[in-house]
Amino acid sequence: MSDATAVNYETSIPNNVGLSHDRRVLRALERWHPGYLDWWNQMGPDGFQDSLVYLRTAVDVGAKGWAKFDYVRMPDYRWGILLASPVEDRVIGFGQHRGEPAWQEVPGEYRAMLRRLCVIQGDTEPASVEQQRHLGKTAPSLYDMRNLFQVNVEEARHLWAMVYLLQKYFGRDGREDAEDLLLRRSGDPDRPRMLGAFNEETPDWLSFFMFTFFTDRDGKMQLESLARSGFDPLSRTTRFMLTEEAHHMFVGETGVARVIQRTCEAMRDAGIEDADDVEAVRALGVIDLPTIQKKANLHYSLSLDLFGSEISTNAANAYNAGLKGRYREERIEDDHRLEHDTYPVLSLVDGEAVSVDAPALTALNMRLRDDYARDAAAGIARWNRVIERTGIAFRVTLPSVAFNRAIGTFAPIEADPDGTIIPHETFKTRRHDWLPSSADGDFIASLMEQQTEPGAYAGWIAPPRSGIDNKPGDFEYVRLS
């Protein structure tokens, strides 16, 4: 391993940033660590802190061979500070500082803006752990339980990643921000997490799979944008976070696909061809396809709100400053300054949703949301191929971006999933045609029974095609205490 990628596991805080030579930051992290463990023990997976879990841990940040697998108790997991290898002679790729050397220290004029980017990103990481803390008790298999815990420990490591940047580069303010990240709680009425989707409940495993497909995909888009940052430590931090984030989306996409597969197989075996015959399908002990669609509608619309308003001066300022770029910035063919460019933005004109050209610099949120929608649609297409292979006449679709919105252009109005603007009373009347009802939630909850026999799976979900780390189907991924 090269010094640029190897992780030092001889210290109390694994890292590849030379913490042993940075005593000030090391002491700050060591002071923060006990509070972090208190948070983990209070808000991490409930009832499994003594269980041995077959987890991957980063030992390198290179493209290959970066992780090892072994059993570990989650409170003993080696969370640490891991940055991707530096790019020699890296320059800023966009904004008014385009072509200048990437910053190794925080530029004073952008300190507040950069600090807020780190805090917002950092706040999402523990929030998802909090949202998912009870799911282990209803895991459909040890394979799924292990994947849940892997997602949890890695989201917690992403918290460490942002805390390191705050403590190293932002002094007392950063240390206070790091403490505050441990004080907020998902859904708490007095101390909620900063973004709405991270205050929603994750009551069941279909919700978890939808969350990791849709909401973690928003995380991917945000991390991809931050990976282009002219502040090199942030770029290197988020580049490695993306390596771990890919597994989280894999868990979501394949999880929903396995739910769909089991439902379609059960329908085929029972001779049920009508996917809308909800009661007949539910009697088979599987989740009907219309309810899966409603869950997708909910999580997609919640995730769209994470992109903020379509027109944003904050996004423009961050781009112009060279702090946060666009998704795959280097592949876009323009001047990367956007001083005179336009971008089509959906707007409400005389009660209709129409596309209007807006300055590209202020329409960055809209562009990133469009990139997200295309990325999500590719995953939806893979779900539909599962349905097609069984011959069931049903397709999962993404609702209109105008549907069920709380932030942005469409927040003041109501629209159906096709994007037709409708009266508020009509939406209220038909809401549960399009979004999960409490009865839908109760039915899903009735299926959520923990399965702990190695190689066994709950009846509402199909087994995966292959195991983690090439393990056999009956591998004991979690050794329960």
Q: In this predicted structure, what is the pLDDT of residue 385?
A: 98
Provide the pLDDT confidence category of residue 77 given band limits of 50, 70 and 90.
very high
* Structural domain contains residue 10: no
pTM for the model: 0.96
How confident is residue 67, by pLDDT bands cut at 50, 70 and 90?
A: confident
In a domain, 422, yes or no: yes
The answer to the question of residue 6 being in a domain is no
> Does residue 12 lie within any of the structural domains?
no
State the pLDDT at residue 356: 95
Domain membership of residue 7 (yes or no) is no
Least confident of 237-241, 278-282, 352-356: 352-356
Q: How many domains does the chain contain in total?
A: 1
Residue 356, domain member (yes or no): yes
| Euclidean distance between CA atoms 321 and 337, whole angstroms | 10
CATH code of the domain containing 430 = 1.10.620.20
Question: What confidence tens digit (pLDDT) does each residue in 301-349 have?
Answer: 999 999 999 999 999 999 999 999 999 999 999 999 999 999 999 999 8
Mean pLDDT value of segment 28-33:
94
Q: What was the pLDDT predicted at 2?
A: 39
Note the pLDDT of residue 4.
52
Q: HEC profile for the chain?
A: CCCCCECECCCCCCECCCHHHCHHHHHHHHHHHHHHHHHHHHHCCCCCCCCEEEEEEECECCCCCCEEEEEEEHHHCCCCECCCCCCCCCECCCCCCCCCECECCCCHHHHHHHHHHHHHHHHHHHHHHHHCCCHHHHCCCHHHHHHHHHHHHHHHHHHHHHHHHHHHHCHHHHHHHHHHCCCCCCCCCCCCCCCHHHHCCCCCHHHHHHHHHHHHHHHHHHHHHHCCCCEHHHHHHHHHHHHHHHHHHHHHHHHHHHHHHHHHHHHHHHCCCCCCCHHHHHCCCCCCHHHHHHHHHHHHHHHHHCCCCCCCHHHHHHHHCCCCCCCCHHHCCCCCCCCCCEEEEEEEECCEEEEEEEECCCCHHHHHHHHHHHHHHHHHHHHHHHHHHHCCCCCCCCCCCCCCCCCCCCCCCEECCCCCEECHHHHHHHHHHHCCCHHHHHHHHHHCCCCCCCCCCCCCCCCCCCCHHHCCCCCCCEECC
Residue 448 lies in a domain: yes
Among the listed ranges 74-88, 276-290, 371-385, which one has the minimum average pLDDT value? Answer: 74-88
In a domain, 312, yes or no: yes
To the nearest whole number, what is the mean pLDDT of the chain?
95
Task: Tell me the backbone φ, ψ of residue 312, rounded to 5 degrees.
Answer: -145, 120
Residue 9 has pLDDT above 90, yes or no: no
286 pLDDT higher than 80: yes
**Confidence check: pLDDT of 7 > 90:** no
**Domain around 434:** 19-479
Kindly state the percentage of the chain with pLDDT values over 70.
98
Rounded distance between C-alpha atoms, residue 114 and residue 322, angstroms = 10
pLDDT higher than 90, residue 6: no
Write the pLDDT tens digit of every residue in 157-191: 999 999 999 999 999 999 999 999 999 999 999 99
pLDDT of residue 1: 35
Q: What is the pLDDT of residue 63?
A: 65
